[in-house]
Amino acid sequence: MRLALRELRRQPGRFMVATVVLTFLCLLLLLLGGLLDGLFLGSTGAIRAQRADVIVYSANARDSFLRSRIGPDVRSAVETTVGVEQVGGLGVLLLGAEVPGQTKVADAAVIGYELQPNGVPPVPPSGHAWADTKLRDDGADVGDTLLIGPAKSPVVIDGFVDDTNFLQQGGLWVDMATWRSAQNANRPDAFVADDVVQVLVVQGSGDLTTAIDAATRASGGGGEGLGDVTKTLTKDAAVYALPGVQAQQDTFNQIIYMTLTVVLAVVGLFFSLLTLERSGLYGVLKAIGASTRTLFGGVVLQAVVVAIVAFAIGGVLALAASLGLSGTVPLQLTPQRFVFTFVTLVGSAVLGSAISLRRVIHIDPASAIGSAA
């Protein structure tokens, strides 16, 4: 082990190519992961913040907030379902918002709510809102009056919250009356009555997904052949039902794992060539009593050190890139992403270095020394 570390210290140039390549691969992994996290967190914050066990849509909504409508009769059936403890209405309206002093229209999601989500204060007065910090990045401030949509519906910002956006649009959390007013003024084709919401946020116990749909089917005329009335999803299922979320996760994860395969191949090729180059040295070491385990441990140690150095440099470059791209690209580097990248990069380096194990095992001291001579 000491010999392996001494070689790293005295001949760093020998490992320079592998370090540079792994640094760029680490940077790629972090940027891909950061972009994936930014897209996911920026699209799903409004749902992840809900204190809900399930979310209830109308059956014909195709798991879409914007298509869903829940009336008072259906809500009453949900509230009386066995296991249901609390029910709150929720509505989302996606529009542009004019920010005072700004020429660019900000993307806003006006979210009407009844049950207080995690990280969001209680329901504000009518005409007021809690705004996500994404809107502060667009120039909004506390006390500003935002004009929502073509009807220029006014909403006053009372404060800011974090990680509560919907489909990359800055959340504006309002009472249901303000949401309905903005919805009806700006989307008259999708008018909602005073007692109608888009979806229901439900807290309770037991198998609520089955119980609620059965209860609404019975109360809504399912026995008369009218079919299902609601579709109930768990909160996690509702997150992945948002447009594009599952496809983004699948696509980026495939790219990330393919990149890790490249890391494994790069390390494997490099240390295989390095082992071949050092066959004579390994032969001498074996001749004086060094075990295969000791020699291979040195190879693995060198691979781990190279991976750690590459991660350190790549991490600094990724942080610099995230600062440079702030506000223009949904790149979000989280501690979990750094941990995942570090573990997978080092793990891939160890597996890649293991490719040289066979070559180390089969080195014969006499033939290696003879060929070196």
Residue 196: which pLDDT band, with cuts at 50, 70 and 90?
A: very high
The Cα–Cα gap between 232 and 56 comes to 4
pLDDT band at residue 278 under the 50/70/90 scheme:
low
pLDDT over 70 (residue 368): no
Please name the amino acid found at residue 158.
D
> Longest Cα pair distance anywhere in the chain, in angstroms?
93
Quote the pLDDT of residue 373.
Answer: 46
- Taking the mean position of all CA atoms in its chain, how far away is CA 165? 13
pLDDT tens-digit series, residues 47-80: 999 999 999 999 999 999 999 999 999 999 999 9
Domain boundaries along the sequence of the chain:
2-43+245-372, 47-241
Mean pLDDT of 9-34: 86
Residue range 103-130: mean pLDDT, rounded: 95
How many other CB atoms are found less than 10 A from the CB of residue 290?
16
Q: 36, 47, 109: which is closest to 237 by C-alpha?
A: 47
- For residues 229 and 216, the answer to whether their CB atoms sit within 8 Å is yes
DSSP string, 282-313: HHHHHHTT--HHHHHHHHHHHHHHHHHHHHHH
Q: Which residues pair with 130 in a beta bridge?
A: 159, 173
On average, the pLDDT of the chain sits at 86
Q: What pLDDT score does 352 carry?
A: 82
Q: Which of 288, 253, 258, 214 is nearest to 56 (CA)?
A: 214
List pLDDT tens digits, range 306-340.
Answer: 899 999 999 999 999 888 876 667 888 999 999 99
Q: pLDDT tens for residues 143-172?
A: 999 999 999 999 999 999 999 999 999 999
Long-range contacts of 282-289, Cβ-Cβ distance < 8 Å, separation of 24 or more: 282/360, 282/363, 282/368, 283/363, 283/364, 283/365, 283/366, 283/367, 283/368, 283/369, 283/372, 284/365, 284/368, 284/369, 284/372, 285/3, 286/363, 286/365, 286/368, 287/365, 287/366, 287/369
Q: How confident is the model at residue 201 (pLDDT cuts 50, 70, 90)?
A: very high
